Protein backbone atom coordinates (compact mmCIF):
# COMPACT_ATOMS: atom_id res chain seq x y z
CA UNK A 1 0.00 0.00 0.00
CA UNK A 2 1.38 3.39 -0.91
CA UNK A 3 2.33 5.62 1.97
CA UNK A 4 0.42 8.76 2.95
CA UNK A 5 2.32 11.76 1.70
CA UNK A 6 2.38 15.47 2.27
CA UNK A 7 1.52 16.92 -1.14
CA UNK A 8 2.41 20.48 -2.08
CA UNK A 9 1.35 22.20 -5.27
CA UNK A 10 3.61 21.13 -8.11
CA UNK A 11 4.94 23.83 -10.47
CA UNK A 12 4.06 22.87 -14.01
CA UNK A 13 6.40 24.42 -16.63
CA UNK A 14 4.77 26.22 -19.52
CA UNK A 15 6.36 23.79 -21.98
CA UNK A 16 4.40 20.95 -20.40
CA UNK A 17 1.18 22.80 -21.01
CA UNK A 18 1.71 23.03 -24.78
CA UNK A 19 -0.11 19.73 -25.15
CA UNK A 20 -2.91 21.07 -22.95
CA UNK A 21 -3.53 24.36 -24.73
CA UNK A 22 -7.06 24.77 -23.44
CA UNK A 23 -5.99 24.50 -19.80
CA UNK A 24 -5.18 27.61 -17.71
CA UNK A 25 -1.42 28.21 -17.57
CA UNK A 26 -1.61 29.71 -14.11
CA UNK A 27 -1.39 27.07 -11.34
CA UNK A 28 -4.36 27.10 -9.00
CA UNK A 29 -4.42 24.96 -5.89
CA UNK A 30 -7.96 25.75 -4.80
CA UNK A 31 -10.06 22.62 -4.80
CA UNK A 32 -12.71 23.50 -7.35
CA UNK A 33 -14.40 21.06 -9.68
CA UNK A 34 -14.80 23.84 -12.25
CA UNK A 35 -11.26 22.90 -13.32
CA UNK A 36 -12.68 19.66 -14.61
CA UNK A 37 -14.77 21.35 -17.32
CA UNK A 38 -11.68 21.11 -19.53
CA UNK A 39 -12.58 17.42 -19.86
CA UNK A 40 -15.17 18.45 -22.43
CA UNK A 41 -12.22 19.00 -24.79
CA UNK A 42 -9.29 17.02 -23.42
CA UNK A 43 -8.69 14.71 -20.44
CA UNK A 44 -8.30 16.30 -17.01
CA UNK A 45 -4.74 17.06 -15.89
CA UNK A 46 -5.05 18.90 -12.59
CA UNK A 47 -2.12 19.83 -10.32
CA UNK A 48 -1.95 18.23 -6.91
CA UNK A 49 -3.75 20.43 -4.37
CA UNK A 50 -2.02 21.76 -1.28
CA UNK A 51 -2.64 19.73 1.83
CA UNK A 52 -2.14 16.28 3.26
CA UNK A 53 -3.06 13.23 1.21
CA UNK A 54 -4.38 10.08 2.87
CA UNK A 55 -4.44 7.04 0.64
CA UNK A 56 -7.79 5.29 0.24
CA UNK A 57 -6.52 2.71 -2.26
CA UNK A 58 -3.49 2.34 -4.51
CA UNK A 59 -4.51 -1.14 -5.67
CA UNK A 60 -1.13 -2.68 -4.85
CA UNK A 61 -2.74 -5.38 -2.71
CA UNK A 62 -5.89 -7.43 -3.26
CA UNK A 63 -9.09 -6.08 -4.81
CA UNK A 64 -11.54 -4.75 -2.20
CA UNK A 65 -14.05 -3.24 -4.64
CA UNK A 66 -17.16 -4.81 -6.15
CA UNK A 67 -19.57 -4.08 -8.99
CA UNK A 68 -23.09 -3.28 -7.81
CA UNK A 69 -24.43 -4.72 -11.04
CA UNK A 70 -23.61 -8.18 -9.72
CA UNK A 71 -26.55 -7.86 -7.31
CA UNK A 72 -28.68 -5.01 -8.69
CA UNK A 73 -30.47 -5.41 -12.01
CA UNK A 74 -30.72 -1.64 -12.56
CA UNK A 75 -26.94 -1.13 -12.34
CA UNK A 76 -24.74 -1.79 -15.37
CA UNK A 77 -21.39 -2.45 -13.69
CA UNK A 78 -20.15 -5.97 -14.40
CA UNK A 79 -16.72 -6.59 -12.85
CA UNK A 80 -13.84 -5.20 -10.79
CA UNK A 81 -10.25 -6.42 -10.80
CA UNK A 82 -6.66 -5.24 -10.48
CA UNK A 83 -4.29 -5.17 -13.41
CA UNK A 84 -0.78 -4.15 -14.48
CA UNK A 85 -2.12 -2.95 -17.83
CA UNK A 86 -1.98 0.68 -16.65
CA UNK A 87 -0.97 2.63 -13.55
CA UNK A 88 -0.29 6.18 -12.45
CA UNK A 89 1.79 5.13 -9.44
CA UNK A 90 3.16 1.76 -8.37
CA UNK A 91 2.60 -1.37 -10.45
CA UNK A 92 -1.15 -2.01 -10.33
CA UNK A 93 -4.44 -0.22 -10.80
CA UNK A 94 -8.12 -1.15 -10.72
CA UNK A 95 -10.03 -2.12 -13.84
CA UNK A 96 -13.76 -1.47 -13.57
CA UNK A 97 -15.92 -2.84 -16.37
CA UNK A 98 -19.50 -2.13 -17.37
CA UNK A 99 -22.11 -3.13 -19.93
CA UNK A 100 -23.74 -0.69 -22.32
CA UNK A 101 -25.28 2.01 -20.12
CA UNK A 102 -28.69 3.35 -21.20
CA UNK A 103 -29.52 7.03 -20.83
CA UNK A 104 -30.34 8.07 -17.23
CA UNK A 105 -28.71 4.90 -15.86
CA UNK A 106 -25.43 4.17 -14.10
CA UNK A 107 -22.63 1.71 -13.40
CA UNK A 108 -21.44 1.71 -9.78
CA UNK A 109 -18.24 0.43 -8.17
CA UNK A 110 -18.15 0.32 -4.37
CA UNK A 111 -16.03 -0.44 -1.34
CA UNK A 112 -17.17 -1.04 2.24
CA UNK A 113 -15.50 -1.13 5.65
CA UNK A 114 -13.14 1.75 4.97
CA UNK A 115 -10.13 2.21 7.21
CA UNK A 116 -10.63 5.98 6.87
CA UNK A 117 -14.15 6.41 8.25
CA UNK A 118 -13.86 9.97 9.59
CA UNK A 119 -13.98 12.46 6.71
CA UNK A 120 -14.81 15.47 8.90
CA UNK A 121 -11.76 17.48 7.84
CA UNK A 122 -11.49 16.18 4.27
CA UNK A 123 -11.79 18.82 1.53
CA UNK A 124 -11.76 16.57 -1.51
CA UNK A 125 -11.09 13.13 -2.86
CA UNK A 126 -8.78 12.83 -5.86
CA UNK A 127 -8.16 9.93 -8.21
CA UNK A 128 -6.43 9.11 -11.48
CA UNK A 129 -8.85 7.64 -14.03
CA UNK A 130 -8.03 6.32 -17.49
CA UNK A 131 -11.15 6.37 -19.64
CA UNK A 132 -10.61 3.64 -22.25
CA UNK A 133 -13.99 4.24 -23.90
CA UNK A 134 -14.41 6.14 -27.15
CA UNK A 135 -16.69 8.70 -25.53
CA UNK A 136 -16.44 11.03 -22.51
CA UNK A 137 -17.90 9.67 -19.27
CA UNK A 138 -19.69 11.45 -16.43
CA UNK A 139 -18.69 10.23 -12.97
CA UNK A 140 -19.55 11.14 -9.39
CA UNK A 141 -18.68 9.96 -5.89
CA UNK A 142 -21.36 8.69 -3.53
CA UNK A 143 -20.84 8.27 0.21
CA UNK A 144 -23.04 6.40 2.66
CA UNK A 145 -22.68 7.58 6.24
CA UNK A 146 -23.70 6.24 9.61
CA UNK A 147 -25.52 3.03 10.58
CA UNK A 148 -28.41 3.91 8.26
CA UNK A 149 -26.08 4.44 5.28
CA UNK A 150 -27.42 7.90 4.43
CA UNK A 151 -26.48 8.87 0.88
CA UNK A 152 -24.58 12.00 -0.19
CA UNK A 153 -23.31 12.65 -3.72
CA UNK A 154 -20.74 14.97 -5.25
CA UNK A 155 -21.11 16.98 -8.42
CA UNK A 156 -20.75 14.98 -11.65
CA UNK A 157 -17.39 15.31 -13.42
CA UNK A 158 -16.90 14.80 -17.14
CA UNK A 159 -13.92 12.58 -17.98
CA UNK A 160 -12.19 13.01 -21.31
CA UNK A 161 -11.02 10.05 -23.38
CA UNK A 162 -7.70 8.73 -22.06
CA UNK A 163 -5.82 9.54 -18.85
CA UNK A 164 -7.48 11.93 -16.41
CA UNK A 165 -5.01 12.84 -13.66
CA UNK A 166 -5.91 14.25 -10.23
CA UNK A 167 -9.65 14.33 -10.82
CA UNK A 168 -11.11 16.42 -7.97
CA UNK A 169 -14.29 15.30 -6.22
CA UNK A 170 -15.18 18.32 -4.08
CA UNK A 171 -16.50 17.22 -0.67
CA UNK A 172 -17.47 20.71 0.52
CA UNK A 173 -19.59 22.19 -2.27
CA UNK A 174 -22.44 21.16 -4.60
CA UNK A 175 -23.35 18.12 -2.48
CA UNK A 176 -26.76 16.51 -3.00
CA UNK A 177 -28.81 13.83 -1.27
CA UNK A 178 -30.13 10.68 -2.93
CA UNK A 179 -33.10 12.63 -4.32
CA UNK A 180 -30.93 15.28 -5.94
CA UNK A 181 -31.65 17.99 -3.37
CA UNK A 182 -28.71 20.23 -2.53
CA UNK A 183 -27.44 19.82 1.04
CA UNK A 184 -24.82 21.64 3.10
CA UNK A 185 -22.29 18.80 3.13
CA UNK A 186 -21.72 15.08 3.44
CA UNK A 187 -24.15 13.47 5.88
CA UNK A 188 -22.61 11.51 8.77
CA UNK A 189 -19.17 12.45 7.46
CA UNK A 190 -17.52 11.31 10.67
CA UNK A 191 -18.70 7.75 9.98
CA UNK A 192 -18.43 6.94 6.27
CA UNK A 193 -19.37 3.28 5.82
CA UNK A 194 -19.40 2.85 2.02
CA UNK A 195 -18.27 4.83 -1.00
CA UNK A 196 -18.95 4.22 -4.66
CA UNK A 197 -17.96 5.76 -7.96
CA UNK A 198 -20.92 6.01 -10.32
CA UNK A 199 -20.47 6.29 -14.08
CA UNK A 200 -23.58 8.06 -15.32
CA UNK A 201 -25.40 8.57 -18.58
CA UNK A 202 -25.45 6.90 -21.96
CA UNK A 203 -22.30 4.95 -22.90
CA UNK A 204 -21.14 1.94 -24.84
CA UNK A 205 -19.78 -1.02 -22.85
CA UNK A 206 -16.18 -0.67 -21.73
CA UNK A 207 -13.97 -0.12 -18.72
CA UNK A 208 -11.96 2.46 -16.83
CA UNK A 209 -8.63 2.09 -15.07
CA UNK A 210 -8.46 3.76 -11.65
CA UNK A 211 -5.43 4.42 -9.44
CA UNK A 212 -4.13 6.48 -6.55
CA UNK A 213 -7.37 7.38 -4.73
CA UNK A 214 -6.61 9.85 -1.92
CA UNK A 215 -8.47 12.03 0.54
CA UNK A 216 -7.20 15.61 0.73
CA UNK A 217 -7.10 17.39 4.11
**Other residues' Cβ atoms within 10 Å of the Cβ of residue 199:** 26
- Cα–Cα distance, 35 to 186 (Å, whole number): 21
**pLDDT of 32:** 58
**pLDDT of 136:** 94
Give the domain ranges of the chain.
34-216
Running along the chain, 217 residues long, what does each successive block of 10 average in pLDDT?
A: 41 39 46 50 90 98 96 97 97 98 96 96 98 95 98 97 98 98 98 98 93 98
- Cα–Cα distance, 95 to 93 (Å, whole number): 7
**pLDDT of 25:** 44
**pLDDT of 202:** 87
Q: How far are the Cα atoms of 77, 135, 138, 169 from residue 158, in angstroms, in the given order? A: 18, 10, 4, 11
User: What letter does residue 38 receive in the DSSP assignment?
Assistant: G
> pTM of the predicted model, to two decimals?
0.81
**pLDDT of 33:** 55
- Cα–Cα distance, 168 to 176 (Å, whole number): 16
Q: Are 208 and 137 in contact (CB under 8 A)?
A: yes
CATH 1.10.3720.10 assigned to domain 34-216? The reply is no
- Taking only the tens place, the pLDDT of each residue in 148-157 is 999 999 999 9
Amino acid sequence: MKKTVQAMLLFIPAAFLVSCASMPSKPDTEINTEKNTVAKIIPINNPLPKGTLELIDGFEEENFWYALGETKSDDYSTDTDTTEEWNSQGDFCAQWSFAKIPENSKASFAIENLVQKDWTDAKALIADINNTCQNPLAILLETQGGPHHIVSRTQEILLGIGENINVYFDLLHEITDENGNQISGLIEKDDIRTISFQIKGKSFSGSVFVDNINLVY
